Amino acid sequence: MTIEETTEALKEPTTEPTTEPTTEATKVKIQKSFTSREVPGTLYLVATPIGNLEDMTFRAIRTLKEVQLIAAEDTRQTRKLLTHYEIQNRLVSYHEHNKEASGPELIRMLAGGDSIALVSDSGIPAISDPGAELVSAAVAEGIPVVPIPGANAALSALIISGLPTERFIFLGFPPRERKNLNKWLDGLEHETGTILMYESPHRIKKTLAVLAERWSTRNMAVIREITKRHEEAIRGTVAACLSYVEETALLGECCIVIEGFNEEKADAAGREGNLNASWWSSMTLEQHVNHYEVLKMKRKEAMKSAAIDRGISRRDVYQALLNDQLEVESEEN
């Protein structure tokens, strides 16, 4: 059986439309993934293991053996996989730094009738890697794009996190700079779905520290080394997970899974925070903001953190500080 054929078990009777399509309907482009043809070829997005080689599917192995070319994010990493499964096929690189040159060449080969398998270092290609751009280019040229499903770190982390799975949002890697990260999180403040993101072991502490400033009481899970020997799930509030990570060096890429916004829980946390605000209740607003500035926050970020503590808007903090400044200047004059 070739990669252009489907098994009998998957075949279902189809009914062709009996009416002429409307004017708007004629504008759509239809992909018949397994229609017999000479050109163009097919771009297969082949999922690879995220740590455990046994997570490779039979279909993925067969596809990698039968395509004319395999395009990989890291040929050295992919070569290990191919060697393990005794796949001897032409391998070329396609990654962030050569996509401008290699992308058009791959599209040319596909248009000429070659079938190509795209793989990333691990997991499903075209997620948080330049494969998405190759897919867009293929679709624009009318080249069929067919997924070969398999392992995925974000979804694997979600289903073992213990957090709601009916609605979620995947965000890839968060911004590195504190200012950009806070701005990024502003748009997620009232996101009700479970939030998924990736983070490196070198930045996990800094990222969790910023998350804890906003969402300390939300439940979360930090899951690392998924499918590998040292797989570990750290579950608790954001504040508790931060404390654990500060005391424990984490190795391996991490998946962060965070509870979404819950209005009732947020209101309860706000009331509790106001009752237990002893660390800042004796401070003036200016002192409160200065406290965060000492922690290396920019002025705007410090004002925002103080506003969250006090349950008011940053605009209110800004206006109050401005009024205080005007009063001081008036007294001096």
Q: What is the pLDDT of residues 260-285, one digit of tens each?
A: 998 777 666 555 555 454 577 777 88
- pTM given for the model: 0.75
| Single-letter code of the amino acid located at 144 | P
For residue 278, what are the contacts with CB-CB under 8 A and spacing of at least 6?
Answer: none
Confidence of residue 12 (pLDDT cuts 50, 70, 90): low
Q: What is the pLDDT of residue 193?
A: 97
Q: What is the pLDDT of residues 171-190, one digit of tens each?
A: 999 999 988 998 899 899 88
CATH class assigned to 159-263: alpha beta
- The predicted model gives 60-82 an average pLDDT of 96
User: What whole-number distance in Å separates Cα of residue 115 and Cα of residue 125?
Assistant: 16
**Residue 99 C-beta-side C-alpha neighbours within 13 Å:** 16
Residue with tokens 């239809």: 30
Determine whether 88 is exposed, middle or buried from the number of CB atoms within 10 Å of its CB (0-12, 13-18, 19+). Answer: exposed
Q: What is the pLDDT of residues 96-119, one digit of tens each?
A: 999 999 999 999 999 999 999 999
Residue 187 DSSP symbol:
T
Which tokens sit at 216? 């300390």
Confidence of residue 85 (pLDDT cuts 50, 70, 90): very high
By residue count, the chain amounts to 333
Determine whether 67 is exposed, middle or buried from the number of CB atoms within 10 Å of its CB (0-12, 13-18, 19+). Answer: buried
Q: What is the pLDDT of residue 260?
A: 95
User: What whole-number distance in Å separates Cα of residue 3 and Cα of residue 67?
Assistant: 8
Closest by CA to 234, choosing from 157, 177, 287, 301, is 157
**Residue 197 C-beta-side C-alpha neighbours within 13 Å:** 23
First to last CA, the chain: 90
User: What whole-number distance in Å separates Cα of residue 74 and Cα of residue 93?
Assistant: 6
CATH class assigned to 38-151: alpha beta
Domain residue limits, the chain: 38-151, 159-263, 277-326
Using alpha carbons, list the distances in angstroms from residue 217 to 61, 167, 242, 250, 270: 45, 20, 11, 22, 10
User: What whole-number distance in Å separates Cα of residue 36 and Cα of residue 238?
Assistant: 53
Q: What is the pLDDT of residues 281-315, one digit of tens each?
A: 777 888 888 888 887 788 888 888 888 777 777 88
Confidence of residue 319 (pLDDT cuts 50, 70, 90): confident
Using alpha carbons, list the distances in angstroms from residue 275 to 124, 158, 190, 278: 47, 34, 23, 8
